Structure 1
Amino acid sequence: MSDDTLAKDTDVTVTPQRAGRHRSGPSAAPAGGGGRDRYLDMLRCVALVRVVAYHTFVWPWLSLVFPSMGVMFALAGSLMARSLKRPALSVLRGRLRRLLPPLWLFGAIIALAMMLKGWAPEEHQVGRWWARMLLWVVPVADPPHSAWGFEATEILWYLRTYLWLVLLSPLLLWAFRRAPAAVLCLSAVPIVVFTTVWTVPEGQAGIVLLDLATYLACWMAGFAHRDGLLDRLRPALVVSCAALAMAVGGWWAFGHRVDGSYDLNEIPLGQAFWSVGFVLLLLRFRPRLDGPARIRALDRLVVVFNSRAITIYLWHQTALILSVPLIDHLWHVRAFELSLPLGNMWFQFGVAWVLIAVAVALFGWVEDLAAKREPRLLPSR
């Protein structure tokens, strides 16, 4: 986000799973350097594409091949550590300014659509219902939704978790800089406790705690990247630690499958360890990207994805939902029925990206306003 949220900005951008949870310079810049980091930008693009692919095909192995949300939280943590060189209150205001306006627009449209479909409070819960609607303004917990709107709103868990990690970052970074290696290791303790020793409470409080614990270590790995800790460690040590974490995560995931599936999005402890191991490798070993930088179309696509990361993330699930009736209508056109692979999931994937592009054109300008830039149909450098 930008000044992040799917994180970008004078920093870069972030975004980005449970989006999957169906309960869903030409070279890499130094960690502490200024300017945009092309490698981080590219990772963000890959993560967003993977999120859309996961929600299209629901392939559990995608969560292993590229744990997008862990990557997104790590990138956001790195950018947050960079921003906190400035006064904490100004940084927090900037993050909220980048995150909330796109969410408000999304919430206004989705909430109106749910109401038009009959969503309304029970007579004895009107006051409580409207009070809960404030979560669409500041999502410290999951905003209310109807059964009809659940699929479109389930992805908001990411923004809620991101918001909490941003608010906690001044304290987390203070602790990290006093004992970097120890705090990085200890950041995995909460998810172990919540899944093996103490069960989180029922309801929103438990959900918030579990998601925070799942991705806390990835966020702290972002701190380690930005402060140069990973670069100071010997490559062999980083590889060993990453391999151990991924081994623990994989072992736990395959031993605690949900309905026979090893999908990490449904297995918090497996997700936490696999993701942080994966992230450590990505952030420690950064390839040069001179080649892709010379491909103008690809370079432009990276700029658009990073400048519109929040919009892409917020609207991708709605695009997938709308692609279904749209393809159903195409079946009624004989020429399309004979010439297009309407029953193929890859075709739906392509249609979803067309609808995402429409959403970027219609709503992406809000990200410009939130960043205090001149609104544009498509972002410039």
Structure 2
Amino acid sequence: MSWEQQGYQQQGYQEQGYGYEYGYSGYVEQPYPQPPSPQEYVDHGYYGQGVEPEPPEPPVPGAPADAEAEEEKPPSRPPGRDRYFDTLRAVALIRVVTYHTFGWAWAGMVFPSMGIMFGLAGTLMAKSLERPALTVVRSRMRRLLPPFWFWGVFVVLAMLVHDWMPGWQIVYWIVPLGDPPGNAWGEQAWEILWYLRTYLWFVLLSPVLLKVFRSAPVPVLLLSLAPIVVFQFLWEPPDNRLGSALTDLATFLFCWILGFAHRDGVLERLKAPAVVVLSLAAIGFGGWYAFTHQAGTGSYDLDDIPLAQAFWSAGYVTLLMWAKSRFGIDFSWLTRFRRTDRVVTIFNSRAVTIYLWHEIALILAVPLIDQFWNVPAFEKWLPLESQWFMFGIGWILIAVFVLLCGWVEDVAGKKKPQLLPGGRPARMAT
């Protein structure tokens, strides 16, 4: 089940929880945004904005035209990008890795990464569905599946080496419409795939969901919390692949449709007191339910309590989305800080890679740290027993995986492979 704790015991550390969130096209800094051809549509991939670029502003008479003058200008942000969303996505990924390192139950309350990611993905999906639905669904699957297959080859081969014998369910390693099978040896690596499975189902259902939402936006948005209430109090889904899929879809259905509401401008038309009061009420109920109906492990971790997760995420993500619509938050100032801005770009462009490989990085960090104990200087001066040290080593290994495997996301998006996205364009010789 996707809501079970993913505990693992390595080198005395108890890790638990589930993982998250994926990526979109690179952000290329350039002096001026280039207009697309009449037939071109900018679709930034799994997490990309998918927004049509606007034509560049006409040149100002008397503006410097020589190369040196252009060099002095700060690079403009490509049209269609929203650094507020980009930053939320990057922070969500960091929170996922942090949670899987330390297993802090309160982390999901401080920043409910999963709900935020589904909300952002719903917004982008609504925008993309301005094109033919079949084209959009095919594009999303094309961008998601190749990185999953590339990662899956290593995981499946490793499990086969460790005496795993798959049955017909191995088809879920091709298209993860259900939880892919595996053995206990690789459980920590493949249990995070619940998110890809849920995302894929939302993509397939979005053409219908969007039509239903637009028929009655506010009622449909509010009623999207009904399925998880039904599952909690009236009918319990079966304890199998179908039950897991239904539970996860019901848990984050509100956040996905909230993305539709944001895209269609529904949120900004709502009255501020109603939005704030209802959001805080949802957060309050989610928190109360988590603390009064703790999981079998005795934890208030939202990941183990779907109803609490659904309401807490609903209220939290609503406030984030509404604040953006209400106050026009875009974090455009971030582009003034080149290094920070590029880090955000890399997280977004390599989100699938970071998500898929981060658990493997944390797994490998343990035997790597074990080797450090054999070096007297490391044993004396490095905090080898600290989880914070493992957290740092884990990020170093994640960076290695991004460099080695991130190009698959470029290929899946039909782009030229890059070692790291967001770099400055090459200077032309004069």
TM-score norm. by structure 2 comes to: 0.80
* Whole-Å separation in 2 of the counterparts to 1:114 and 1:4: 34
User: Mind listing any 5+ residue stretches in structure 1 that lack a counterpart?
Assistant: 13-25, 122-128
Per the alignment, in what secondary structure is the counterpart of residue 149 of structure 1?
A: helix
Q: Does 1:265 align with 2:303?
A: yes
C-alpha distance in structure 1 between counterparts of 2:122 and 2:132, whole Å: 16
Instruction: Say if 1:5 and 1:162, in contact at 8 Å, map to a contact too.
Output: no
SS in 1 for 2:215: coil
Q: SS of 1:148's equivalent?
A: helix
Following superposition, the deviation at residue 291 of structure 1 comes to 3.7
Aligned to 2:170: 133
Q: Any residues of structure 2 matched to 1:192-231 within 5 Å, and which?
A: 192-231=229-268
- Tell whether 2:330 aligns with 1:292: no
- The CA distance in 2 between the partners of 1:96 and 1:284, in whole Å, is 29
Tell which structure's C-alpha radius of gyration is larger.
Answer: 2
Residue 285 of structure 1 aligns to a residue in which SS?
Answer: helix
Taking the aligned partners of 1:289 and 1:339, their CA distance within structure 2 comes to: 40
Cα contact 1:4–1:99 (8 A) shared by 2:
no
Question: Of 311, 315, 319, which aligns to 2:357?
Answer: 315
**2:95 corresponding residue in structure 1:** 50
Q: Shift of residue 49 of structure 1? A: 0.1
Assess if the C-alpha contact under 8 Å between 1:6 and 1:72 holds in 2: no
Does structure 1 retain, via aligned residues, the 8 Å contact 2:122–2:256?
Answer: yes
Q: How many residues align?
A: 355
Q: Distance in 1 between matches of 2:273 and 2:91?
A: 26
Supply the RMSD in Å over aligned alpha carbons. Answer: 1.8
1:277-297 deviations in whole A, cap 9, x for unaligned? 000011111334244321111
Q: Aligned residue for 2:50?
A: 10
**Structure 1 residues 181, 9: CA separation in 2 closer, same or farther (over 3 Å shift)?**
closer
In structure 2, C-alpha distance between the alignment counterparts of 1:117 and 1:4, rounded to whole Å: 38
Quick check: 1:4–1:98 contact (8 Å CA) kept in 2?
Answer: no
- Residues 1:11 and 1:290: Cα distance change in structure 2 (over 3 Å): closer
TM-superposed CA distance for 1:9, in Å, is 5.2
Residues 50 and 124 in structure 2, CA contact (< 8 A), matched pair in contact too: no
Distance 1:241 1:229 in 2: 15
1:301 aligns with 2:339: no
Shift of 1:10: 3.0
User: Residue 48 of structure 2: SS of its match in structure 1?
Assistant: coil
**3-state SS of paired residue (1:375):** coil
What residue identity is the alignment partner of 1:331? W
Name the one with the larger helix percent: 1
Q: Find 1:345's aligned residue among 387, 401, 418.
A: 387
Tell me how far 1:120 sits from its aligned partner: 2.0
- What is the aligned partner in structure 2 of residue 62 from structure 1? 107
Match of 1:118 among 159, 163, 172: 163
Matched, 1:371 2:413: yes
Contiguous gaps of at least 5 residues in structure 2: 1-22, 25-42, 53-73, 424-430
Question: 2:105 is matched by which residue type in structure 1?
Answer: P
Aligned to 2:141: 96
Q: Distance in 2 between matches of 1:54 and 1:208?
A: 22
1:133-155: CA deviation from partner (whole Å, max 9, x where unpaired): 11111000011111100000000
Contact 1:4/1:79 (8 A) holds in 2: no
Letter of the 1:276 partner, please give it: A
